[in-house]
Amino acid sequence: MVTTEAQAQGEAKSAPRLPTALAALFFPDRGMPLAARIGRVRGPLVFALLCSLLWGAALATRVDARDATLQALDKEQKLATMSDRQIDDAQKTAERGFMVKKLGFALVAPGGELLASALGLFLLSWFLRGRSQASAVFTVAAYGLLPSGLGNLVEAVAVFLRGSIPAQASSFTPRTLAALAEAFGAHLQEPLTKLLSAIDVFDLWGAVMLAFGLTAAAQLPVRRALVGTLLGWLCYRLVRFVALGG
């Protein structure tokens, strides 16, 4: 039986008295099924897009490609024959390329993540023998972008607080379990460090939200949806960041 929006909003009485997005973030066991039934994609997607663009703008305005440019020119054996003016021009060209790349990626990343998450949820629903509804699946995938949006927002603030950043840097906050362990003074062996580096806490947060959302979007038991989604997410992260190197 299809639950109407009015019925879904009626269920909010048993959920925390918070906006749907906050309930989905902090009480995903109740907030995500509610979000799936209400079916609103635009709000979470716009939030994720704005955070992504802010992150891209922060990187673009703070990048300093001096060291990367010198290393590249030295590797090409051009450094010794170039004047300071030519080196400065090469640096500016590298920085412009970095800006275009980061801003372009920031613009398309949320939409790409939305489609990838929706496809993954459809496949999981089929594999777990659920009965998925397209609108609910896309809504769940959209709300699953919220943690990554918050992660980009934190990264943007960290970058803006710096005077400049090197072009080679990838992250400026301890987002992975390995980085968090190091920040708290733990000393891990190399295999464990590589394994924990694949687990981004914001992405894990999003995976938990997707799992609870899948219970409503595909009419699955909570335990089956949680186990299936988290195992699928973990396998993907290990293949991408451990087996393939990122």
Under 8 Å between Cβ of 25 and 31:
yes
Query: In this predicted model, which residue has the larger pLDDT, 26 or 7?
Result: 26
* pLDDT(2) > 80: no
In single-letter form, the type of residue at position 120 comes to G
pLDDT of residue 245: 64
pLDDT of residue 183: 82
- Report residue 18 as tokens: 């918070």
* pLDDT(118) > 70: yes
* pLDDT(1) > 50: no
pLDDT of residue 191: 79
The chain-wide mean pLDDT, for the chain, equals: 87
Under 8 Å between Cβ of 146 and 48:
yes
Digit-coded pLDDT (tens) for 186-212: 887 877 888 888 899 999 999 999 999
* pLDDT(24) > 70: yes
DSSP notation for 55-114? HHHHHHHHEE-HHHHHHHHHHTT-GGG--HHHHHHHHHHHHHHHHHHHHHHHHHHHHHHH
pLDDT of residue 12: 44
* pLDDT(246) > 80: no
pLDDT of residue 114: 96
pLDDT of residue 218: 93
Query: In this predicted model, which residue has the larger pLDDT, 82 or 8?
Result: 82
- Half-sphere exposure of residue 168, counting CA atoms within 13 Å on the CB side? 7
Across-strand partners of 200?
176
- Report residue 53 as tokens: 């663009």
If you average pLDDT over residues 1-13, what whole number do you get? 49
If you average pLDDT over residues 43-66, what whole number do you get? 94
- Other C-beta atoms closer than 10 Å to the C-beta of 62 total 17
Burial class (CB in 10 A: 0-12, 13-18, 19+), 210: buried
Digit-coded pLDDT (tens) for 207-233: 999 999 999 999 999 999 999 999 999
If you average pLDDT over residues 101-121, what whole number do you get? 95
pLDDT of residue 15: 45
- Any idea which of 15-19, 95-99, 207-211, 212-216 has the lowest mean pLDDT? 15-19
If you average pLDDT over residues 120-138, what whole number do you get? 93
- Any idea which of 13-27, 66-80, 81-95, 163-177 has the lowest mean pLDDT? 13-27
* pLDDT(21) > 60: yes
